[in-house]
Chain A
């Protein structure tokens, strides 16, 4: 259960996120859509405190995951991030072997038992439907995979540490249509075990895979509703204009 209350976020003097309050149910897919620069990616990066890496940022409001304010001083950021997986716009495997890429998150969290690692890597690769394609070349560099395979590898890498939430920041924007549909299938399947929040530029994609959709504009959450309703009967004119392509 994710709940945000009056979130405001600033880069220096610029307010990137304005007063956003929302709730996300477990085991659902939530999509964020909106024009470029609307704040949807920034908002997503608040979920695992990725914006902490940028100097001069400031946040007000409560960001609560499973009853805990994640911006509380007592929260260990790396523990938090371990619990929340993230997949990025472009596939970004490490310059390591396929196996070591998937095992990375487990190793940095202190798991070095060989058998355990092997089991988890296999499991993660199977859940992203990559196992059959790579099981004979686990020792090969991850850069030898195709773009779509690399992205599925990055998803496997995020899943290996067994997070409960999976954040995806335009995960298919750098991929071809076939790879994209494979990832979409995967997202649909993963929903059973994870809460998924996905930022996408592609409205059809949001309509295809998500249960709820949030529409962002100029840092505000204009509308947040069931996907079916938002795309067929939006409550706000801005949303209407955007999804019918009159804007953005």
Chain B
């Protein structure tokens, strides 16, 4: 009997130990799965499967990056020498042009004559670059298809354009998304910090017990409101307000997002900062007051320096929250994936991009994988932030 009980206790202990490891395991799983889904991105070809970029075989260029192909077809690059070829103007040619140039009847039954027409066009112009479906590309010595390149690290991390559905090549440059995210989050904290610090000082040093009893639940409630409700409030109230105040063409701007995020970050900042100020030893306050300092002098010369590490942790945590916030930012910042230049233009953040696009990205495609990579970046960004908040808040003046 006793033996059985001992065995049961051991088993239960084992189960408890395992569940103790749960959070660690989950973090590992998150890393594994985000990478598993996302890492294929760097193995996916720049030009979508089923399409080819064709050149006249006299052309010596044999390598074009995704961004270069895009610029060529946008006619931002117009001469072959800009991409390492001969000094000659480029003629970009899209599949659709065929249908403007010829009648449908010319292509014959089931487009049997189409490859021949393509061959004709490419042969005719040594400077041509043509974007064609693979199955119509003719086998001809005078035609060369560009070797398949994969998306590169540099294009991904430093690319300035995010156009996941562009043809002939999609653009996955995340720089505008990263900058957009940071711009909104950091501005939000710059707005929230002085306000939050002021309220924290008020709560911990000035407010009477009764006022605290009212203010604390109010702050808890602010923290409890779902972010989609904040987003809705921002969309209906803040967006028109910002548009009016600054006389802008649209109210969905980085600034609107920052304003909303600032409101959302206030509870975190207030709570953490207030806690660390209340932890200032009583003896420290009394020593300052006994020297003839006023209460305000005591606050800014003794209490705030003492609580500095706690306050910095609050700031870092606030930034982390703001960077990861999805719905509110998605609803009020306009979601234009462009390099941000001012606060009063639409921007697009990393979480908002994932939320808005994952539903439409075909599973396993480059777009889908790029979104998972964005998730990885977000994950590591917030991981670094959590850890640094931990390190900062442990650093105490006494030690």
Would A108 and B287 be within 8 Å (CB), given that A92-B281, A94-B302 are in contact? Answer: no
Contact: A143 with B291, CB < 8 Å? no
Chain B residue numbers with a CB within 8 Å of A158 are 290-291
Contact: B289 with A109, CB < 8 Å? no
Chain B residue numbers with a CB within 8 Å of A104 are 288, 291, 293, 301
Distance, CA A240 to CA B281, complexed state (A) = 38
Contact: A92 with B292, CB < 8 Å? no
Tell me, yes or no, whether A242 is within 8 Å of chain B by CB.
no
Tell me, yes or no, whether A120 is within 8 Å of chain B by CB.
no
Contact: B283 with A143, CB < 8 Å? no
Interface size class of B (residues with CB under 8 A): 20 to 34
Contact: A88 with B286, CB < 8 Å? yes
Q: How far is the CB of B287 from chain A (nearest CB, A)?
A: 5
Tell me, yes or no, whether A183 is within 8 Å of chain B by CB.
no
Tell me, yes or no, whether B73 is within 8 Å of chain A by CB.
no
Distance, CA A107 to CA B306, complexed state (A) = 18
- Complex interface residues of chain B between 298 and 319 (CB less than 8 A to chain A): 301-302, 305-306
Cβ proximity bits A192-230 to B, threshold 8 Å, 1 near / 0 not? 000000000000000000000000000000000000000
Would A90 and B283 be within 8 Å (CB), given that A95-B397, A108-B297 are in contact? Answer: yes
Distance, CA A83 to CA B291, complexed state (A) = 8
Stretch at the interface among A19-27, A62-70, A74-82, A127-135: A74-82
Q: How far is the CB of A160 from chain B (nearest CB, A)?
A: 8
Cβ proximity bits B246-265 to A, threshold 8 Å, 1 near / 0 not? 00000000000000000000
Distance, CA A83 to CA B292, complexed state (A) = 8
Contact: A95 with B290, CB < 8 Å? no
- Complex interface residues of chain A between 144 and 194 (CB less than 8 A to chain B): 154, 157-158, 161
Chain A residue numbers with a CB within 8 Å of B287 are 86, 88, 92, 94, 154, 157
Distance, CA A158 to CA B293, complexed state (A) = 12
Contact: A78 with B284, CB < 8 Å? no
Distance, CA A96 to CA B372, complexed state (A) = 47
Most A CB atoms within 10 A — which of B287, B294, B306? B287
Contact: A88 with B292, CB < 8 Å? no
Q: Smallest CB-CB separation from A90: which chain B residue?
A: B283
Contact: B301 with A86, CB < 8 Å? no
Tell me, yes or no, whether B101 is within 8 Å of chain A by CB.
no
Contact: A79 with B292, CB < 8 Å? yes
Distance, CA A158 to CA B290, complexed state (A) = 8
Which 10 A-B pairs give the minimum distances between C-beta atoms? A82-B292, A95-B397, A105-B291, A86-B290, A92-B283, A108-B293, A108-B297, A81-B292, A78-B292, A92-B287
